[in-house]
Chains A and B, each alone.
Chain A
Amino acid sequence: MEENQSKKAILGLIILILLLTAFFFVSKYFSLQKELKETKTLLEAQKINEKTLEFAKFFTEKVLKAEKEVDFETRLKLENAVRNLNDEEILSQWQKFTESQTEIEAQNNVKDLLEMLVNKIKIQ
């Protein structure tokens, strides 16, 4: 009789331990999920920042400082880089810039484009 009771007690204890362990792992899982989500968000912002800066650097080097015609390969790279930013606003401003018909229009569009690029960089 006593043996049965002690068995039950041990079983109950094991179940309790298992439940607690499960609870611990579940809570750990959710907290890690939350952390992962936050990290992903941060990483995403960082990636966007990196891509934006890379494009800004490339644009400055190849277009703003250009002393001769920008060749097709460079324009292709620029187009890829600007599309890689996945930002409709910047793409639209880029297209406005590329379609500029006068020097003043191009200058204004350059300023707007640079402003947009700088604004897109998120400082944590």
Chain B
Amino acid sequence: MPRLNSPAELEKHRQQIKSSGDPEMPCVAICAGTGCLASGADRVIEAFRDEIEKQGLKAGVRIRETGCPGFCERGPVVVIYPEEICYLDVKPEDVPEIVTTTLKEKGVVERLLYEDADTGERAVHESDIVFYRNQQRNLLENNIKIDSRSIEDYFAIGGYSALAKVLSEMKAEEVLEEVKKSGLRGRGGAGFSTGIKWEGSRNAEDDTRYVIVNADEGDPGAFMDRALLEGNPHSILEGLIIGGYAVGAEEGYVYVRQEYPLAVTNINRAIKQAREHGLLGENILGSGFDFDVIVHQGAGAFVCGESTALMTALEGRAGEPRPKYIRSNIRGLWNKPTVLNNVETWANVPLIINRGSGWFGRIGTEKSKGTKIFSLVGKINNTGLVEVPMGMTLRDIIYKIGGGIPGGRKFKAVQTGGPSGGCIPEKLLDLEVGFDELSQAGSMMGSGGMIVMDEDTCMVDVARYFIEFLTDESCGKCVPCREGLRQMHRILTNITKGKGKEGDIETLEELAETAVEASLCALGKSAPNPFLSTLKYFRDEYEAHISEKRCPALYCRDLISYYIDPEKCSGCMLCLKKCPVDAIEGKKKQVHVIVQEKCTNCGTCLDVCPSKFDAVRKLSGESRGAGQNE
């Protein structure tokens, strides 16, 4: 393990690594990120090991366990190099065929390729797949190219060259200037200018400064930061060391949630490797700059993603935000100037140094630069992580990359920005994604959550769900958040249960105003967004629930009933047999009837009714009464 004492030694080491490997040597890259592992990637990896050995290819094929390339919907993902053949949904039993056909005979296993839903065409290479084709993966592209456990792999793709450049050629002020000029804004939520934040810390009068990676990713359904930290931990580390140099910090922290065990393991391993190579510790690359990193595992409180709560937790106290009116880049951790940035923000830093602020500034919109990783989930065909230039429209993300809505259902809304983001309706689908654009639409960028909802989603219930999450995650310190959210949740729950009353909307609006204006931290201040945005764009749904006791999306269980259309029912007995509460009466070849008093609205009858009959219907509101009387 060589300690690298200068940028020249690093370059030499890099060249040695590159020349020791044959670029034409076949390599099986298998995603070993959390998503693919959950779909059985570990067994696929095992199967490749066994099969390659069995077929006598062990000496000539490399197996690479990689980070997440993003297409989690179709995992386990396998890419065979040098041809870059991409196989999806790979199972252990597919492995012998892949080894024989692709590795030995250089052919393609057609059935494991991506098939375009519209044209039926198969895509051989990763870059041909529509999901990837419309992305710009500056940050995620390396995940599949390196073994996330190998610092050599990171060196081979040019790793730590930005750090070497900074330490040997740039003054701290020049690094600051470059980051400022790039227009990079924080990827964690508020979208504050990274360069200005750094500059504030550098200029604050103090001897000690800190830099922190916020990896306390807690938004439901969001896993951008996990993918980066698991898949390419050295890129985060390199960004952090550069940040430490720029602001004058000698100590950095990675605050990562305990629920990300693989990310914790990988970043710890990366830190150990970096220390061994002299990239952390004293006199980094012979520059005289000292810097080291400590990993701190969060205990699972969502609010600890809030910067001051995170710092309080790092200090060893209960993770509650601070009431102070002073920015933490001036007085943060242990009252010292502290720069806290999100994982994705740090990952952008080496790219900006290597490729220049001009390159970065050309990507994106006027005020939102670079790419952004979104976690595209919900009612969408291609679930996964997508990295796109800022300024791409929501429509393009959802339809061109995400492949639209499954099951022929209609799009209804997309929720961006995590639980305290907002729901954006169809009429705003041509909105270009950017910090300010999303805020103006009543939502926010947040850390990049994007949940697609179809016509079967009840927007009142969506608001209730997110407010419930936030009520549960409130730290409980200030009244507008702790008590205000509790009451908002109670009222929203009542509305979805048909117990809404006149005046509820106004009460909710007043509670929302109190939380937005008077809460202590960003959690409380943004918590009413799910309610406010759904009220703004879907007010008619609130009114239907309250005044007509009707759920237009036919979702709220207390407001719907099931009804068997006598014209369509053939008396097949299927629903009658499957009904868990024996609420269906009828005989073979006789029309079945649901006894509403017994029915619990579980929906089993609708699920089991054969599509050729399609006799069970959901009703809500007035029509529900009509259905019941028949």
Report if A and B associate in a common complex: no
- Footprint of B on A, CB under 8 Å? none
- Residues of B whose CB lies within 8 Å of any CB of A are none
